[in-house]
């Protein structure tokens, strides 16, 4: 009995194990996503999760398991998403979530920004509204538990204007509130407005204003206190950026790996160095990401960009070499 008790005392509690070890032991990643934002995370007609955030988690699963399907997606409403991270219900939250100081210090960490956005407005075309200030005294529909709610109040106050807000628990209700005429405008991240507009009965009857009233850098969130997991979350995005910069795609990566052109490409593909092992993964971790999911430009295009129905311009999300903000630190 004494020996058993001593052994139990010595055995580390499950929580003391790093998140990577827990994920490996479980055999799949648990990824928090939104309940449905077109282009970011939404189930398709077969019930398969699709979108930029979904692909981020598939890239993590590719790096860890060499299998992008080893992910369980948990749809989370805006107000519920952070508790799910803090409590360990999800290993990572990849969900159009703005990185803010308050969230970063609330027992969470953030990975790299995988989408730079800002808050915008959807209005009826026949209202002839071109600027946000024309929404003085307007009623705005938006979602609870978001930065959207906070920014809106700030912006109107700072500009000496007034508004009334009607808040809803999810994006479906927000859109139907707007469509039923309860509000003059719907406000959320501009990237979400592209999809919301397409969901209306007559998309041509609505316009997205050009103006943005805030900075919304979206980054994956994870719980605080696990540096290795934080590195894996962060470098998953950087691997996809480095791949794009080096011209590595889902199509060409296998052939390129057989005859890699440069030392940089050799390092990305795990043929030189032990960068993957140092992350707790295998040295071909980035090769796995590129082979199964692709580079950032490919993922952007097919989910939200030119290759998708949304046609979101690349804008700030272009690589730094193309005038954008997406900049992957070197793999070396």
Residues of the shown chain interacting with ligand GSH in the complex, contacts defined by CB under 6 A: 34-37, 77-78, 96-98, 143, 146-148, 170-171, 188-189, 192, 216
Min. distance of Cβ 97 from ligand GSH in angstroms? 4
Min. distance of Cβ 299 from ligand GSH in angstroms? 19
Using CB atoms within 10 Å of the CB of residue 128, give its burial: 0 to 12 exposed, 13 to 18 middle, 19+ buried.
exposed
How far apart (Å, rounded) are the C-alpha atoms in residues 47 and 34?
14
Scan for tokens 């398969």, then name that residue.
48
Residue closer to ligand GSH by CB (options 32, 276) is: 32
Residue closer to ligand GSH by CB (options 147, 242) is: 147
Both tokens assigned to 191:
């990237």
Min. distance of Cβ 264 from ligand GSH in angstroms? 34
Both tokens assigned to 284:
């071909």
Residue nearest to ligand GSH (CB): 35
Residue closer to ligand GSH by CB (options 170, 264) is: 170
Residue closer to ligand GSH by CB (options 283, 317) is: 317
Min. distance of Cβ 168 from ligand GSH in angstroms? 9
Min. distance of Cβ 143 from ligand GSH in angstroms? 4
Residue closer to ligand GSH by CB (options 15, 105) is: 105
Strands 71-75, 92-93: pairing kind: unpaired
Q: Mention every residue, 6+ apart, whose C-beta is less than 8 A from residue 151.
A: 119, 213, 214
Both tokens assigned to 210:
């050009």
Strand order from edge to edge, sheet including 185-189: 163-168, 138-143, 185-189, 119-124, 206-208
């Amino acid at each position: 009995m004494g020996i058993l008790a001593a052994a139990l005392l010595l055995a580390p509690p499950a929580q003391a194990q790093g998140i990577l070890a827990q994920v490996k032991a479980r055999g799949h990643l648990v990824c928090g996503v939104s309940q449905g934002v077109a282009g970011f995370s939404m189930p398709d007609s077969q019930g398969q999760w699709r979108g930029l955030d979904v692909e981020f988690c598939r890239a993590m699963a590719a790096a860890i398991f060499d299998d992008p399907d080893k992910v369980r997606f948990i749809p989370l409403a805006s107000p519920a998403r952070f508790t799910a991270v803090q409590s360990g219900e999800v290993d990572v939250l990849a969900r159009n979530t703005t990185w803010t100081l308050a969230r970063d210090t609330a027992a969470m960490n953030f990975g790299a920004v995988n989408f730079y956005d800002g808050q915008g407005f959807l209005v009826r075309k026949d209202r002839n509204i071109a600027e946000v200030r024309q929404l003085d005294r307007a009623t705005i529909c938006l979602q609870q538990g978001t930065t959207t709610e906070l920014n809106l109040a700030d912006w109107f106050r700072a500009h000496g204007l007034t508004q009334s807000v009607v808040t809803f628990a999810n994006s479906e209700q927000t859109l139907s509130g707007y469509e039923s005429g309860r509000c003059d405008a719907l406000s959320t991240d501009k990237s979400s407005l592209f999809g919301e507009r397409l969901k209306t009965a007559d998309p041509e009857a609505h316009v997205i204003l050009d103006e943005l009233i805030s900075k919304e850098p979206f980054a994956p969130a994870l719980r605080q206190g696990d540096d290795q997991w934080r590195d894996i979350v962060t470098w998953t995005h950087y691997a996809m950026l480095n791949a794009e910069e080096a011209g590595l795609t889902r199509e060409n990566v296998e052939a390129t790996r057989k005859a890699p052109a440069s030392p940089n490409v050799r390092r990305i593909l795990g043929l030189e160095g032990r960068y993957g092992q140092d992350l707790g993964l295998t040295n071909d971790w980035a090769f796995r990401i590129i082979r199964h999911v692709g580079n950032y430009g490919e993922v952007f295009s097919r989910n939200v960009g030119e290759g998708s129905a949304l046609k979101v311009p690349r804008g700030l999300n272009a690589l730094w070499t193309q005038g954008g903000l997406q900049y992957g630190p070197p793999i070396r």
